[in-house]
Structures are given as C-alpha cells and as structure tokens.
A and B are shown apart, each in its own frame.
Chain A
C-alpha cells in the first residue's frame, strides 16, 4: 500500500567491502561478532605520522575485479563503488537488460573522491619535478567517477550523479535515491558510497586536523581520543515494495524515512540542534513517533566532541525514551570510511533489524558520563528491533539521517 507521500521502498540487494570483509556476508559476520578491522596501515609509509592505525580493505585486489588496462583508469574509491554495485545488483537479481535500465538511478556518495590519484599526480610535479601528472589524473580524480563507472559497468542509463557532503555523503545519496524511488522518478536505484583515503598527503591532512586517534577508535568510551580512518564501499538496491514482492525478490528491509539539516554554525564543531533537526525530520518523513525507535546506528566517530554532542542530541529529541534506546557505533569495527560511512552503517542498521542482532560498539573501555546511553559495549545484543535510525553528521555541519524498518 502506498504511503501518503508515495510508494513503500525496500532494499533487495547489498554490496559491501571494507576492512571487515569482501562481501555482505563477511562484513555482517564481523559486525555481529564485533571483530575489528583496524590495524597498522600498510599501504602508506607512515614514518613521521602521529598515528599508525587504519581500517584498510586489505583483501581487495583490483586485478580480481578489473582488467589490467582498466585498473589504470579507475581510482581505488571508484573500484570499491563498482565492485559493491555489482554485488548489490547480483544479490537483488535486478534485471538491467532492455528498457528497464533507463529507469534505474545511480546515486553515489564520496567525501574525497579520487584524491589519492591527485595526491600521486601532485607528488610527481612538486616532489619529482615532472612537468605534468599522468593524463588520466582528471578522470581518476573526479568525484562522480564512482557513479560513472557503475553506470558504464552495468549499463544503467538512468539518472546518475554523486553527492559529496563529507562524512554524510553516502547517507545523503541513499536518502536522495530513496525519495526518487518513493516518488516514482525511477523504478529502482543503486545508491551508497565509497572512499579510499589512504595516501600520504591525505593522511597528513587528517593528522594536521588532530582528530585521528594514535590508538584505536573507541566511540562513547571515556578514554576515546579520536577517529580511525577507514576505506571501503557499500551499495544498496532500492525498489518499490510492490514490485519486489511481485517479482519474488528477497526483501532485506524497508527504508521508511530520510531527514536532513545543516548546523549553520561551525565548520568542524558539531551542534546539538542540527542533529536533533535531522533525526526529527527523518522521523517526520517516516511518520513515526520517537518512541517507536529501538536502535540507532550512531555517527559515533570516537572524537571527544562528536560523541558527547550526539549523546546530548539523542537525549534532547528522545527524552525519557533515550533510556530504552540501544545505540552503537560500528565505526569501532570498520573505521570511519568518510563518504562511505553512511552506506556501511545503513547496511549494518538494515542487517541488525533483519537478523534481530544489534552490532556492538567495540574497543569500549569505560563509561563516560557525557555519553550516558546504552551503547551496546563490546558484545552484540540479541534484540528484535522494529525501527532503526542511521545517523551521519558531516564536517561543515551537514546532517543526514535514514530511518529503516524491519521487513516482516
């Protein structure tokens, strides 16, 4: 039955690769078991940096997925996007032959795009004294490379574009795609995000911001000291519920709401009001009361400021119901994959509702009075949640929240 605002929208396919594994099944197992994907960074020479750890997708070998000549033309972040998209379409059993492919959207998110390739190109100029970078630097670097490469790889000819809103990129992308499917602009969408930030220049830029922990990311723990960078990609296939049911697709869960806001205050200091407004907007879009929510996959970066501020925002919006909420930050396992984070976490939220298991916040040592919520420390919780939110709050004060419902 259509909702007052449009058609019901479900997720029928997921594709995920990150430090936790090379597909959805491996990544969900690791999330549920609370395995950490964080380890000393291997792909970049780390001498002289104040941090050592990252969440690299170590199992990923481009040559397993692309012809050698094509590898040169696709930055790692776009490779993640394409591989995740292939997995999602395969899992959904989505037919992309014939005219149907013109009615499918591809909406990707990324924070840094192909800056790893740009970094390499600039190193050639400034460090090695070469006259120019490699001629593929522009197509490698462009932020829309993920969306473009997916559309080329899968032959999708519908609307395709990229949203870059720092750490909220993928959440904005999924939310946009959700609204497009709900309103009937398209009949299906591939949406999510990807990121590959491990290059010498990018890591030093993050170091200079002094938000990366020298240790491991410990969201909501009193001894948290910052975030741990991660990489990876995750894509979802969204389609109208009636069509998914009609074609006998396996339905993984329902997207029921999307909300956005901007802090309009500080470029890196988060506000309480912005996240409250975004969560409230997602609940309003879903037409559910705050008391219906059981689980929140928090933005939970592990920085001292974010986690305390997010806690205050949750308390302000949910009031007494905050005591009944179960909250976790899966960034403790897959790291902060920036523009891919929202997609990895949407996947985690979806699976948590589907499986009746809420993934834990790992590496948690000690309760913090500033983060006095049930953050599912270290061990997963068996609990059948009906509604879940996935929060993403970006640098620049741009907030995006997705609401999911278990499909039963």
Chain B
C-alpha cells in the first residue's frame, strides 16, 4: 500500500468529518468513524477532486473503510497513468 496515498486519504476524511487526523488509522472503518452515506459521498467527491480522478459507482460501492478507499484510489490512479503512458 502506498503510505503517502493513505496519508492523503486520511487527511481528506479528517477534513470531511471535521475530526483530528490522529483519530483515524489505516484500519478505521467508516462505521467506526460514524461516516454515514452522505459523509461517504462527500469523501468520494473530495478524493475525486484531490486526485483528479473519476470513481465509478461500482468502485464507490465497494469503498467501506480506509484500506478499500486507498486501494480504490490506487487502482484508478494506476489505470489513469497507464492510459496516459
């Protein structure tokens, strides 16, 4: 897992939920963070903005925790880079 990517995702979640970054770990689930469906929507939007990507609905539905969020962004970024390369 890309550590710097994970740090950025955690920072986005902290901003969305207005909670301290320290309260979030790579193993936090959205449930533990009290992220409801609107928070998740907001997070996906800010990840799309931050990384300049588009997260399809199927990928969005599988993002339930920090690890899956990082993995999802990682995969989409990789696809984007290989398409450009």
Q: Complex Cα distance A276/B18, Å? A: 54
Q: Complex Cα distance A130/B45, Å? A: 11
Residues of B within 8 A of A136 (CB): 38, 41-42
Residues of B within 8 A of A139 (CB): 38
Q: What 0/1 pattern do residues 178 to 217 of A give for CB contact below 8 A with B? A: 0000000000000000000000000000000000000000
The residues in A between 94 and 146 inclusive whose CB is less than 8 angstroms from any CB of B are 130-132, 134-136, 139
Query: How close is A139's CB to chain B, nearest CB, in angstroms?
Result: 8
Residues of A within 8 A of B18 (CB): 68-69
Taking residues whose C-beta sits less than 8 angstroms from the other chain, chain A's interface range is 10 to 19
Residues of A within 8 A of B54 (CB): 131
Q: Is the CB of B49 within 8 A of A135?
A: no
Query: How close is B1's CB to chain A, nearest CB, in angstroms?
Result: 26
Chain B interface, DSSP helix/strand/loop, else mixed: helix
Q: What 0/1 pattern do residues 65 to 85 of A give for CB contact below 8 A with B? A: 000110011000000000000
Does B17 sit within 8 A of A, measured CB to CB? yes
Residues of A within 8 A of B38 (CB): 73, 135-136, 139
Chain A interface, DSSP helix/strand/loop, else mixed: loop
Q: Is the CB of A69 within 8 A of B44?
A: no
A-B contact pairs, 21 of them (CB 8 A): A68-B18, A69-B17, A69-B18, A72-B42, A73-B38, A130-B49, A131-B48, A131-B54, A132-B45, A132-B48, A134-B42, A134-B45, A135-B38, A135-B41, A135-B42, A135-B44, A135-B45, A136-B38, A136-B41, A136-B42, A139-B38
Chain A positions within 8 Å of B, measured between CB atoms, are 68-69, 72-73, 130-132, 134-136, 139
Chain B positions within 8 Å of A, measured between CB atoms, are 17-18, 38, 41-42, 44-45, 48-49, 54
